[in-house]
Amino acid sequence: MDCAEVMTQVASPRWDIFCRVVDNFGDIGVCWRLARQLADEFDLPVRLWVDDLASFARIAPELDVAAAGQLLAGVTVAHWSGTFDGVVPAEVVIEAFACELPAAYRAAMPGVTRCWLNLEYLSAEEWVTGCHGLASPQGQGLQKFFFFPGFVAGTGGLLQEHRQQIERERWHAGDAARFLAQFINPASKALAGQRLAQRQLSLFAYPNRALPSLLDVLAADSALSRVYVPDSLISKAVDEYAGGYIEPGMLWQRGNLQLLALPMLAQDDYDRLLWSCDVNFVRGEDSFVRAQWAGKPLVWHIYRQEEEAHLDKLAAWQARYLADCPAGAAAACAAALAAWNREQTDGAVWQNWLRTLPDLALHARGWAKQLAQHGNLAANLVSFVAGRV
């Protein structure tokens, strides 16, 4: 079933997506991308309920944080607050990441809502394919379906907007150079022009004790590396490494390492940053998925969970990601992932990883093409709903 057929079948039902902002930008990042794509590519009436508009505005600067409701990019954005008395549920309801629906809204769903889904967190673990699409009876004639994003057939796939895919395919070195240059303050132009950076990296991560060892290796390496640091939880540690606050747009240099602090970027600009860099350090789920579509080597800082459960998820993805990678590059990548997520300070790991980046770059491009074979999450979700509405 192609997208046009799907859209024709399910264009009339209203969709409600509920999102509680737990991890600052990860949860809302996924929900906002999904809502925009459903409205843009499938012409669906989508209402996105968000409890934390201030965090949302960091990735969507045009958002009015004081408005209870507003239309943004074709999506009705509603502030999730109050009792929800009198709110009419949609025909299609998505709980993002097992957030609990408001009691009054839930009570009004029977007889109105025809498809209720729990959009789960992304995982590469084997059990996901067996649970994807399963239904759980909720009483009063309602069923809740579990929809799992994933990396293989039999899952929901990954979010990938068509317009972003086209722009990325047309992106080239000239676009990247112009895009990255805009972030450099005029006061740093002279330093930036003395010698072109041979390696561009983006750094978006949680606080990490492994950071100094990575930066030390980059500073001592023979190639000049420029690290772009969008405002995030790791920014404070970057400032501490530099011995003081790095003003956005100002270059700081030690040896062959340059650090460039950036403001928090809107989603589309963050995508362009990933396309423009040679290597991307990412975290959580949203930036992690976007880095894979970028087709560049990446290092993932997975969200820490109790009892080290996150390490099992990391291992499951790593096994899939590196399955077809040359042995030497795969070993170096695995060691870098372990060092970053276990916060180890072995500089030799990063030295070896740098040597294998050409092989990892080739592998990353192939991995992105492999993922595309499973369709994208929004289209798979619309197709799933079409069979039930």
Catalytic residue from among 95, 285, 286, 359 = 285
Under 8 Å between Cβ of 250 and 267: no
Closest CA to 44 of 378, 384, 286: 378
CA 331/CA 38 separation, integer angstroms: 39
Determine the Cα–Cα distance for residues 306 and 320; give it in Å rounded to an integer: 24
Look up 175 and say whether it is catalytic.
no
Strands 46-50 and 15-19: parallel
d(CA 230, CA 318): 25
Please identify which of the residues 27, 221, 271, 286 carries the catalytic annotation.
Answer: 27
- Taking Cα atoms as reference points, which of 252, 222, 223, 224 lies closest to residue 239? 252
359 flagged as catalytic: no
Which among 267, 246, 249, 235 is positioned nearest to 181, based on CA atoms?
A: 249
Angle at 198 between CA 193 and CA 203, to 5 degrees: 95
Q: What gap in Å lies between CA 70 and CA 73, rounded to an integer?
A: 10
Enumerate the H helices of the chain as residue ranges.
Answer: 3-10, 26-42, 53-59, 103-108, 128-131, 162-170, 173-181, 189-194, 211-220, 235-242, 267-276, 286-294, 309-321, 327-341, 347-355, 357-372, 377-386
Question: Burial level of 179, CB count in 10 A (0-12/13-18/19+)?
Answer: middle
DSSP string of 297-342?
-EEEEPPP-GGGHHHHHHHHHHHHHTTTS-HHHHHHHHHHHHHHHT
Q: Catalytic residue numbers?
A: 27, 285
